[in-house]
A = this chain, B = another copy of it.
Amino acid sequence: MEVDFSNIKVIGFDADDTLWVNETYFRDTEEKFADLLDCYETKNKIDQELFKMEMANLETYGYGIKGFMLSMIESALDLSNNKVSQQTIVEILDLGKKMIAHPVELLDGVEEVLSGLVGKYRLIVLTKGDLLDQERKLEKSGLSKYFHHVEVLSEKKENNYSNLLEHLNIDVNEFLMIGNSLKSDVLPIINIGAKAVHVPFHTTWAHEMVAEDEIVNNHLKLNNIKDILKYLEN
C-alpha cells in the first residue's frame, strides 16, 4: 500500500520502545517483584494483581515509573494482607529507583534515522511518560541534538494530539507520527487525518494491545525504523 509523505514537515517520535528500550525493564522489574512476593502467591497471580492495581490507579497516577512504584507497593500490601515485610517495601522502592537510573539503550537504526532527517524536518519527541524521566533519557541517549523539543501528553488520544498540533501551529497534513503502539501512536493519528508509521517493538504492555482488526488500513508498518528513510529522504 502507498502512503503519501510529500507534505510532511514535522515528525513526532514516540520515545519508549520507539527510540529506546523501555517495556523490557518493566517486565524485568515485574519478575523481580514477583520473586519478592513468592511466599504469598503464585507468579501468575502476582502478575495479574499488579496489572489490576496499575489499571485501578491509572486515572490517579497516570503513566510512568513513579505510579508503577506506588502500585507495586500497594499491590504488595494487598497481596500479602498487609504482612509484606518492611524490608520488601524498601526493596520495591529500590527496584523503581534502579529503573529510573537505568542506562538508555537505543534501538537499532534510531541514530541513523534521526541524523538522516534532522534539518529536513522538524523533529519532536511525543510521549505520555513522565516529563522528567523522558528529558533525562533523551539527555543520556545523546539524541537531544536532533530534537526541537519534548512534548509530554497525559494521554495519547485524538483530542490530545489535536490540541498539541494546534498549540504548535502544525497543520494536520504536515504531521507524521512514528511509534511502536498502534493504540497510542497510530490509530488516533490516523483518525485526526495525520500520517502514522508503525514500528512494532517485540514487547507490548497489555494495556497498549489492540486487536488486529481494529487497525485502520492507511498507515505504513515497518519492521525496522531505518526503513522510513526510503520514504522520507528524497
Binding site for B on A (CB under 8 A): 60-62, 64, 66-67, 69-70, 73-74, 77, 80, 82-84, 86-87, 89-90, 93, 96-97, 100-101, 130-132, 135, 148-149, 152-154, 163-164, 166-169
Contacts and interface: CB of A to CB of B under 8 A. Distances in A.
Secondary structure at the A interface, as helix, strand, loop or mixed, is helix
Given A77-B90, A82-B86, A148 B167 contact: yes
Contacts of A152: 131, 152
Nearest to A152: B131
Contacts of A89: 73, 77, 89
A174 B38 CA distance: 59
B82 A90 contact: yes
Contact of A70 (B69, B83, B132): B69
B167 A60 contact: no
Given A60-B101, A74-B90, A148-B167, 19 more contacts: A60-B97, A60-B100, A61-B100, A61-B132, A62-B131, A66-B70, A73-B89, A73-B93, A74-B93, A77-B89, A77-B90, A82-B90, A84-B86, A131-B153, A149-B164, A149-B166, A149-B167, A167-B168, A168-B168
Contact of A67 (B66, B131, B135, B167): B66
A82 B86 CA distance: 6
Contacts of A74: 90, 93
A163 B124 CA distance: 13
Given A62-B130, A73-B93, A154 B169 contact: no
Contacts of A153: 131
A77 B66 CA distance: 18
A189 B54 CA distance: 39
A57 to B, nearest CB: 8
Contacts of A149: 163-164, 166-167
A97 B74 CA distance: 12
Which of A62, A74, A90: most chain B CB closer than 10 A? A62
Contacts of A83: 86
B169 A169 contact: yes
A74 B93 CA distance: 8
Given A77-B86, A89-B77, A167-B168, A61 B66 contact: yes
